[in-house]
Structure 1
């Protein structure tokens, strides 16, 4: 085991394998085969005290600590650090290099927003970039009106843990992200 893996709560190789097994379960011919893939995924994640679920509305694999569950339900009061969860879109590109390029672009846009507008726009821009990258594997400027609405109405209030200042500024922040991204040359 490499030094980097020893410090990771959920090693990247385990996340990749969980995603692969989830995709195989979806493509399985029969329910027994699908269940075998899901059991394999569960066993691998259990070694790190994590569990998996697929969030259907945005087709995302969510891996999170088992300790967040009580009787199979995530208990919000048990979540101290949302960054411990890992999300992988199941609808976006399977090539991690494509996702990495999207993330690099979106991170650059976030940095521009931060440099030009500071807080709370930086935090909101990062939340929007995470949403677009993790849920749709898309650059922030490629967001559709429906995706922006989903971010503002569903993702942001539930997943960004926004302060009152962030909530008050989020619509302006998304506009700033889009304007900043429009200045980037196409890759």
Structure 2
């Protein structure tokens, strides 16, 4: 929503996207801040805030914060083109495998597009590992069924992209 707000020229449309983002975050008790110096959207749990100030004594786990670069670039693709390509793959998973796989595919598409400005078929083993170990547990707000199916969902998603799901070599895994 923040990227969309930055791409449209109409002030009212920008505000509508920001309001939708803030409403979605409020459902999960998070607040968005834009760090201007490096154009990064930072999402904080509301419990950390006192007004507009992050209270360090309230931060029990820094992994709960989420940072998304708004200035990342990847080749000639822009975010809208990457989102459209990734959304097509998510739709294929939804059509062929239903829920919860579609929700997991959407979460991975969001991760790749928003964090790396990258198409799903270009994901690396490191991307998949970061998604499953860090992003997914903190940001997907997945149901138990979705969590149980995430590995299969990724396999279906990469199959829809007509590529193998990248995995870490055995000597690199923890």
TM range (shorter): 0.5 to 0.7
Q: Say whether 1:139 aligns with 2:119.
A: yes
Aligned to 1:180: 160
Q: CA deviation at 1:87?
A: 6.4
Per the alignment, do residues 60 and 139 of structure 1 end up closer, same or farther by CA in structure 2, a change over 3 Å counting? farther
Q: 2:44 & 2:132 partners in 1: Cα distance? A: 26
| Selected match of 1:51 from 24, 30, 33 | 33
- 8 Å contact 2:74–2:117 — kept in the other structure? no
State the secondary structure of the residue aligned to 1:51: strand
Change (3 A) 1:90 1:113: same
**Which deviates more, 138-147 or 61-70?**
61-70
Counterpart position of 1:169? 149
Size of the aligned set, in residue pairs, is 135
State which structure, 1 or 2, has the greater radius of gyration over its C-alpha atoms.
1
Contact 1:60 1:87 in 2 (8 A): no
In structure 1, the residue matched to 2:92 is: 112
Q: Within 5 Å, which residues of 2 pair with 1:49-88? A: 51-53=33-35, 61-64=40-43, 69-71=48-50, 72=54, 88=68
Kindly indicate whether the alpha-carbon contact (under 8 Å) linking 1:87 and 1:134 is maintained by their aligned counterparts in 2.
no
Instruction: Determine if contact 2:93/2:105 at 8 Å carries over to the other structure.
Output: yes
Q: Deviations along 1:20-55, whole A, 9 cap, x unmatched?
A: xxxxxxxxxxxxxxxxxxxxxxxxxxxxx952359x
Q: Following the alignment from structure 1 to structure 2, what is the Cα–Cα distance between the partners of residues 95 and 115?
A: 30
Q: When the two structures are superposed, what TM-score results if normalisation uses the length of structure 2?
A: 0.62
Q: Return the alpha-carbon distance in structure 2 between the equivalents of residues 152 and 60 of structure 1.
A: 25
CA RMSD after TM alignment: 3.8
* 1:86-115: CA deviation from partner (whole Å, max 9, x where unpaired): 964357317996211111000000001001
What displacement does 1:69 show?
4.2
Cα offset, 1:9, TM superposition:
2.9
Contact 1:91 1:136 in 2 (8 A): no
Q: TM-score, normalised by structure 1?
A: 0.58
Q: Return the alpha-carbon distance in structure 2 between the equivalents of residues 97 and 87 of structure 1.
A: 21
* Change beyond 3 A, Cα 1:73–1:180: farther
In the superposition, relative to structure 1, how do residues 64 and 174 fare at CA in structure 2: closer, same or farther (>3 Å)?
Answer: same
Q: Which runs of 4+ in 1 moved over 6 A?
A: none
Task: Give, in angstroms, the shift of residue 4 of structure 1.
Answer: 2.6
Return 5+ residue gaps in structure 1 as ranges: 12-48, 77-85
Specify which structure has the higher proportion of helix.
Answer: 1
